[in-house]
A = this chain, B = another copy of it.
Amino acid sequence: MTTPTPESIRSGDARAIARAATLIENRDPAGEALLRALFPFTGRALVAGLTGPPGAGKSTLVSALAAEFRLRGLRVAILAVDPSSPFSGGAILGDRVRMMAHHGDSGVFIRSMATRGRLGGLAPATGDLSLLCDAAGFDVVLIETVGVGQDEIDIARLAGVNAVVLVPGMGDGIQALKAGILETASLFAINKSDRPGARELAAELHAEAPEIPVFHTVATEPPASPGAGIRELAAAILNARPTAARRTLLWRWRLREMLLERLASRIDDARLAAAAGQVASGARDPYGIVEEWTAG
């Protein structure tokens, strides 16, 4: 596989973008070199996160939003980060929904990533893919995640604007969200809001966070016939461009993740295994090892 050139990415070449995305996901040094060359051409895209519990209809909502952005002539990249269990067919189903809705439209780029349980690895890769799509000229980058883990908070912190998606009638809908996800919210979307309990959920959200606007949506398939509230939500996302202070805060989080990923990649696995054997047998204490290895 030849490494794509910065020029091929900037021209929007779909195959080059897909190849670059693979290099980036694999943490190939060629991917980082490409991103360094592309960085001066980033900063134009609006990066929006959509986070919520399983079953909130995020994939369908993202698809409907993408269709609405396309109607406005905007190019859209969708990054779907799925931490679901290997038992679940959710990831594959979500992919199918997205693929069918936007098949053959070169103005939509779709990439799904499964979490791999690697500490610190997922958010940096997602952030790098977001920069790639930005440099490739996509106007909007939609990052879809399930809001139940620390990974997802880290990913939500990549986005200039964050929609937290909930549905009425899921008893533990709000409770199932990881503490911290709500702090990342720029706006709430109550999806499937034609179901009973939508008004009560809106009131509950308003009581908890009165400053965050609440939108009611009914994302339907096919997204070509826009569901209720999609246009309003799309407009709100477009209007929520982050301030310079917000962008600095996002980079602060992101730089920290990038530093930790780099430091983690330098830990020598063989040396670690040997030290672990010594600790397990009681020959050495782990605190002394950490002190020794991080001294100087």
A interface residues, Cβ below 8 angstroms from B = 32, 35-36, 39-40, 43, 54-55, 83-88, 90, 114-115, 117, 119-120, 148-154, 172, 174-182, 208, 244, 247-252, 254-260, 262-264, 266-267, 272-273, 275-277, 279-282, 285-290, 293-294
A245 to B175: give the CA distance in the assembly, Å: 38
Closest to A149 in B: B149
Q: Are A255 and B280 in contact (CB under 8 A)?
A: no
Q: Are B252 and A119 in contact (CB under 8 A)?
A: no
Chain B min CB distance to A172 (Å): 6
* Residue from B54, B119, B179, B266 in contact with A117 in the complex, judged by beta carbons closer than 8 Å: B179
Chain B min CB distance to A95 (Å): 16
Chain B min CB distance to A67 (Å): 27
Closest to A154 in B: B119
A59 to B84: give the CA distance in the assembly, Å: 24
Interface centre among A54, A263, A272 (most CB of B within 10 A): A263
Task: Check A251/B280 contact, CB under 8 A, given A119-B260, A151-B150, A258-B290.
Answer: yes
Please tell me how many copies of the chain the complex holds.
2
Q: Are B148 and A150 in contact (CB under 8 A)?
A: no
* Residue from B85, B286, B294 in contact with A174 in the complex, judged by beta carbons closer than 8 Å: B85
Which residues of the other chain, B, contact A43 by a CB distance below 8 angstroms? Answer: 282
26 A-B contact pairs sorted by A residue (CB < 8 Å): A35-B287, A36-B288, A39-B287, A54-B172, A55-B172, A85-B177, A85-B181, A87-B208, A115-B179, A119-B120, A119-B150, A119-B154, A148-B178, A247-B280, A248-B273, A251-B276, A251-B279, A251-B280, A252-B272, A252-B273, A252-B276, A255-B289, A256-B272, A259-B267, A259-B293, A263-B263
Main SS class of interface, A: helix
Q: Are B39 and A83 in contact (CB under 8 A)?
A: no
Q: Are A87 and B174 in contact (CB under 8 A)?
A: yes
A174 to B88: give the CA distance in the assembly, Å: 8
Task: Check A259/B294 contact, CB under 8 A, given A276-B251, A287-B39.
Answer: yes
Chain B min CB distance to A291 (Å): 8
Besides A54-B172, A148-B178, A244-B280, 17 more A-B contacts (Cβ < 8 Å) are: A35-B287, A54-B175, A85-B175, A85-B178, A85-B179, A87-B177, A117-B179, A119-B256, A148-B148, A149-B152, A251-B280, A252-B272, A255-B276, A255-B279, A255-B290, A256-B264, A260-B263
